[in-house]
Chains A and B, each alone.
Chain A
């Protein structure tokens, strides 16, 4: 059994300084390692490997991972600013054969949460993302029972079989502290590094389209009218139409429309 934990080396400071005082991994990434360590105890004969993409300075966080009990640690030598696709492609090269991959749900610096999604696709693994709980007892019986946060305070229970990629929120677990002796011993460990991508920082960040705020007159009609007003649909500009279909046909229709619009 092999569990891999993916870490991203980032600046933890609001000014984005990356000198050694301000760099590290996010609380979500730390939680990912704690979950992996807890699951290791539930499976027998299980290794936890931590893989971190980053420059040489990132070795220190990998040593701290070894000090808290990771079986092994590896650094993919890469520049700090890369897009999610490049990161997940580089990670996937080293993750084939892992039964379970645990990531933080999004890194603080870019915050898109796309890496685990791409990873699951690259590895052909199941995915359960943005988790707020992992039922450790379920590891004995499998599938793994996990909990995901949905909008409006609702929760989704998922049963995940392996291989799988999980991403967890920082609140699922607090990483245990390294015992003093292990922490001291880890100081002299050399971290294995493998070559990885070196991209230039992305020129500009791409944000999803957000319509401008505008003022609407107070509602007059029923709820459906209001939704139409807000979304600008059902007007006569030819961009929108209202259809009534059963769910599978509706999904098909949406996909067709998206394709037509060039997505």
Chain B
């Protein structure tokens, strides 16, 4: 028998959550193994395309000097599409293009690799190409390590932090999740499309390292979800996010839904002529607070997508920042528990306290109505036409008929779209309570 390998902490998954957790533990001087099933960190990870790294100010000050970013997002648009119309709300800020920055486009195989490298530099032992296959427990049921798919692959630790992403089989095995419901998940599919940098600059009206983030409502061929376009240096990320049960219940395949989006008259001129460099897909935990698991067990914590921390306010997706933050707080709580010599669920309670006191759960609580609202049938299928038709009639010149008043147009278009005034009022109130 080989000697038993024991460390202070095992972090499973070298995504943003895992690397943040491992960094904190290593800095506290604990021995920590960071397990990753991919051949390098980031090789299994895809997303839409924008990171909001503010939380890194605490972990890696001046991160912007070295982080592998593509472009700084200085322009953010939300588009509402019908088959023939588009309404866009466009915001620009030059502040976002200078330190300390706001958001940036980046490729995950670059970003996650960089972040894991920082954890290694701080002393974490990164072990790639190794899948955690299950939990090791002692007689009392307490988690004492993980099994892996390597020969003699058992690893023992005083605390295990599961940062193994949306499918987290470890959190499920630990019994931290209730029944798994497909309705809580969306599928994201995306094409990375190459275009020369100057063509991108021109089409999106940006210069240098400035970039654009466009979220799209109504461009998903009738499947509840949303679309996105992000500018990288010399590629575009173009994709859709689709509510799983709705996707399964109709006839169009994901790549066809992207193709339809790309063919929309408002989108086609932006993406035309590009060469597809990569096609990718990943699932998103979409339901926020309502699907979150129990955060701690004896000897174990869950962070990032594994704990459904992704903030999916419908078409606005923030997950990497929530993963990094929850990973960081899990690392701090684990360090605290190791110091006190008590890594039971009670000893690890500092984790939930931190989540509750910071933006992680505060934002989730504030926006807890958002996913259901934005993905609701009314917002998805009725409002885009109502909004676009209203705007079209406002801008249309119907001489010699006199211009109708906005209130009248809105009322007529509301009726035409089949929206009841009571529902509109309720959704508006929900929207104000959520986003206001």
Contact = CB atoms under 8 A, between A and B. Distances in A.
B2 A179 contact: yes
A182 B153 CA distance: 10
Contacts of B93: none
Given A21-B43, A187-B125, A179 B113 contact: no
Contacts of B125: 184, 187
A69 to B, nearest CB: 11
Contacts of B3: 181
Interface residues of B, number: 20
B109 A21 contact: yes
B153 A179 contact: yes
B57 to A, nearest CB: 27
B155 interface: yes
Nearest to B147: A180
Interface in B148-191: 148-155
B127 A184 contact: yes
Contacts of A184: 5, 33, 125, 127
Interface in A168-205: 176-181, 183-184, 187
Contact of A181 (B5, B43, B109, B130): B5
Interface string B60-85: 00000000000000000000000000
A181 B152 CA distance: 7
Nearest to A22: B40
Contacts of B5: 180-181, 184
Nearest to A24: B39
Interface residues of A, number: 11
Given A21-B109, A21-B113, A187-B125, A180 B40 contact: no
B151 A179 contact: yes
A178 B109 contact: no
A20 interface: yes
A180 B152 contact: yes
B3 to A, nearest CB: 7
A180 B113 contact: no
Given A21-B113, A184-B5, A187-B125, A179 B40 contact: no
Contacts of B113: 21
Nearest to B33: A184
Contacts of A178: 150-151
Contacts of A179: 2, 150-153
A181 B40 contact: no
Contacts of B149: 177
Interface string B106-149: 00010001000000000001010010000000000000000011
B370 to A, nearest CB: 36
A180 B33 CA distance: 12
Contacts of B152: 179-181
B306 to A, nearest CB: 22
Interface in A115-139: none
Interface string A7-51: 000000000000011000000000000000000000000000000
Interface string B5-39: 10000000000000000000000000001000001
A180 B43 contact: no
Interface in B412-426: none
A180 B131 CA distance: 11
Contacts of B33: 184
Interface in A29-88: none
Contacts of B39: 21
A179 to B, nearest CB: 4
B40 A20 contact: yes
Nearest to B149: A177
B53 to A, nearest CB: 21
Nearest to B5: A181
A183 B151 CA distance: 10
A183 B127 contact: yes
A30 to B, nearest CB: 13
Contacts of B43: 21
Given A178-B151, A183-B127, 5 more contacts: A178-B150, A179-B151, A179-B152, A181-B5, A184-B127
16 contacts: A21-B109, A177-B151, A178-B151, A179-B2, A179-B151, A180-B127, A180-B130, A180-B148, A180-B150, A180-B152, A181-B5, A183-B130, A183-B150, A184-B5, A184-B33, A184-B125
**Across the A-B interface, the 4 shortest Cβ-Cβ residue pairs:** A21-B40, A179-B151, A180-B150, A179-B152
Interface of A: 20-21, 176-181, 183-184, 187
